[in-house]
Copies of this chain bind each other. A is one copy, B any other.
């Protein structure tokens, strides 16, 4: 029998992407959708892409009612709403993957410095940071998974192997990320209008983006001391994709091939990580619609500088695809189930 899944907050971009991916998933069935704005409306009217695929109406969030219809919960609501909602499902015995920021940071002090008061801090020890390539075993038995932010996903996949293998200096890590506009969500704000975004590029929230502590938490945990990174996000005129350019200093003598081999070695067997050969660099266009994270790297041998580039689709590996991957692990399904799609090119 299929696992019945509920999506809380189904009408944002991560919501519709969950629906797209789960449609292809043979072992789950979406049985409840919530939306404040579209309660009572057929999901196929909200997103014509889903016409003929899913006949289900959005409903208002009633944890009581929805708990009867679902075995597993994916929450795609804004932070703050998440911390109010997730505990209610948790207490009814539902496993949850939360796509907001509320269950990613382990230290409530850090959370409260970057966000606001945490009203479910008691559940933070329960929750697991949902980057399967690093926490697969813990995810397997988790009740709550805090699905990583899109930027941290692209940064951490490129950095963790280097930190774990002690290949780079921890003092001067720079993360320059370029994101498509869907990363800003479906909120109706001036900054996301077509004519404000198209044909322009900008940096934003320099030293101040809320994904910074997430990156720092995961790196710091490896070495058991505080690591700081310089993280600057940029907005790019495209729908989907994050390209992350990582600037690091090597503390071992390595050639480009050696660095690529280190990635190959670290990610051996990972179904969604693709390491590029020397001389090739990833492009977000080549992962669009898929759960891949592509990695390329170049070393400047004379002075031990290295640049690592990762490419993900922010709505898939950076959000909904990773959430499905986590759900698969938690449910004991094959990890790639529902996610075996070839990227869409062009």
- Listed in ascending order, the chain A residues whose CB lies under 8 Å from chain B are 13, 16, 19-20, 23-24, 47-53, 172, 174, 176, 178, 180-182, 186, 188-190, 192-204, 206-207, 228, 230, 232, 234, 236-241, 243, 245, 247, 271, 274, 276, 280-290, 292, 294, 296, 298, 300, 303, 305, 307, 309, 311, 340-346
Contacts and interface: CB of A to CB of B under 8 A. Distances in A.
A206 B345 contact: no
B51 A283 contact: no
B203 A245 contact: yes
A193 B197 CA distance: 9
Contacts of A296: 203
Contact of A309 (B16, B48, B203): B203
A200 B283 contact: yes
Contact of A199 (B13, B51, B206, B285): B285
Contact of A346 (B13, B206, B298, B343): B13
Contacts of A13: 195, 346
A51 B245 contact: no
Closest 10 CB pairs of A and B: A200-B285, A195-B346, A202-B283, A48-B286, A49-B343, A206-B298, A20-B342, A201-B243, A181-B194, A49-B345
B200 A198 contact: no
A61 to B, nearest CB: 21
Contacts of A203: 243, 245, 281, 296, 307, 309
